[in-house]
Chains A and B, each alone.
Chain A
């Protein structure tokens, strides 16, 4: 594995399976009397969040703590850290504190990339969501969830070859969609992005997936339907005016009971959260047996443990010597 995890594209097929298989072993911890491992004792993981995301931060925090790492939560939102230069200042502070890994959430696309490659810090950088770019651990936990639901209870060593995954919603602004397309493609899945044309980025033809404007045409052949959050502000003029109204959006692109009835029996419904119930997903669908929304949260901890273990337990010195 790379020293950093910045993008779904950073993981080769073998890397991705290593993370998923490791997470699978670590998921067993939940059944043990002692849920903690000594693996990262003496290591420091900093959660550097320039943007609110309690669920992601807590997930990383739980993962690091189960591996016995020291965890420092650095919430930069609302403090003096809003202008650019302070990313660097913050990084230098973290470096002085001896951070072995920095888990970073930032409103600017590419900020984790800058952190990893600017020479400001030496530790590993894990992208916990940057702007409208990527969110690779979300993609990993999504793939982990799909593998478990579709490939059986012990899916070790398996990928998602031939599985059809339909991702629906605001692709233009979604870091979840970008990371999922890259990772799921690596794992052999066939991804279709469904959105109104205004919410698909220019140049999407080059992505390793297909696109459609018609949700109903995709449902019957989907093994997975992943609904993305759509912010209501996007329909306002100031927000870009991407669609006319919430009602029209949910009629054309929302997942309701009628649409779920078209899905194959084994198909699952996913959502990275937080949901707009009644907008992109009907409440009864979100709470149905097909829905993996709660599992996704649980799986997030196992996957992030695997990522932190694989990035941090190894020796960087050896990496350099054999390089």
Chain B
């Protein structure tokens, strides 16, 4: 539990460049942005000097694995949300593949409550689509929607809802409460035992291939199903240029389809697998340079709506082994903004307003979160992040707040650093430190 600030609870952020524009001041009071404009520093408010810093609305992650309950050795709601706050997030969606699976109102409420107690950011549980993620029958989606956790995003992430009838039913069923099905698109028969992107390198390295077509085939089927039943589909961690083409086509039809891309798929390629270091083993796998460029372009032009971390903590034992035996996944929360800065901002593909849109506004809209993703104007909830775009930092896995160490950026220098995060006017991070 966090200690209550000793101050009045009023903050004046001075000289902040909101969305990278001209410096201004923001007065945060009673959980909202009370005033925006120059010269707001005055008595009885703590001053946060944001000279040179960029202010963005608090980031929203659509895809976070907090591992609790079940794998508290890898991450807990407490450590995972601490990592989120340090990464500039004010809300995360906690994936359902826990143990027990979040497929009942009881489990989603437990996760939601743990998030409230931790207090570092809002935790919105994702409900499983099928009982036990087994892809056999629908979980009680309505009960989860009506629970205290008010679940709106449903996903079997980690597994694909591969049965076409079941997927159709899920898409139909969530219409009753405005939900969305977030699909982990992976045709299971085409990816049995798959270890890395199927391409030139998988053949050379002797690792079983995970063909992009296994993702694209499911996305193609699902956008058609979505159109057919008039529902809403969200595609998790899009990883290939081919997927982008299908999404572009579906959107051109006006269908209600959204998609996310992870920071690592915007920066890293399958060439990293040549080290056989399982830090680079992830699902969907890292793909080719051409895929990376296509994903960046799609994020820039809005074909892909959001950046989502797929933050996937794994214990040391699950990664310190041979490639085939290792777990899939990598940490993401504490490096996401820096990776997006390197891949999208420094390449000129997105400005800071674009980053705010893809990392806060749109994901908040997809997840139906009322309290997040608002422009930093008077009256908006005081959820924001202050970042220093000029900073450069070398990633030290042991300096991360996450309980796990499986960052693919260990030893790598990345641009940008989160200086402060405010959740409803209260700093969760100040001077780069957890409050």
Contacts and interface: CB of A to CB of B under 8 A. Distances in A.
Q: Classify chain B's interface size.
A: 20 to 34
Contacts of B252: none
B204 to A, nearest CB: 7
A30 to B, nearest CB: 34
A206 B206 contact: no
B203 A111 contact: no
B229 interface: no
A84 B205 contact: no
B323 interface: yes
A85 B321 contact: yes
B204 A110 contact: no
A133 B203 contact: no
Contacts of B206: 109-110, 130-134, 175, 178
A84 B315 CA distance: 13
Interface in A82-132: 83-85, 87-88, 106-111, 113-114, 117-118, 130-132
A108 B321 CA distance: 10
A261 interface: no
B201 interface: yes
Interface in B265-290: 275-277
Contacts of B332: none
A202 B322 contact: no
Contacts of B201: 203
Interface string A182-212: 0000000000000000000111101100000
Nearest to A131: B206
B203 A84 contact: no
B322 A110 contact: yes
B414 interface: no
B322 A84 contact: yes
Contact of B205 (A110, A117, A207): A110
Contact of B204 (A108, A114, A131, A178): A178
B216 interface: no
B288 to A, nearest CB: 10
Q: Classify chain A's interface size.
A: 20 to 34
B370 interface: no
Interface string B217-234: 000000000000000000
Given A85-B317, A202-B209, A202-B211, A114 B322 contact: yes
Interface in A117-163: 117-118, 130-134
Nearest to A201: B203
A203 B203 contact: yes
Interface string B190-216: 000001001111111111110100000
A177 B78 CA distance: 50
Interface string B340-355: 0000000000000000
Contact of B276 (A110, A178, A201): A110
A130 B206 CA distance: 9
24 contacts: A83-B321, A84-B317, A87-B321, A108-B324, A108-B325, A109-B195, A109-B276, A110-B205, A110-B206, A110-B207, A110-B324, A111-B276, A131-B206, A132-B208, A133-B205, A134-B206, A172-B203, A201-B203, A202-B198, A202-B199, A202-B203, A203-B200, A203-B204, A207-B204
Given A83-B325, A132-B206, 14 more contacts: A83-B321, A84-B318, A84-B322, A84-B324, A84-B326, A88-B320, A108-B325, A109-B323, A117-B276, A118-B320, A131-B206, A178-B206, A202-B203, A203-B198
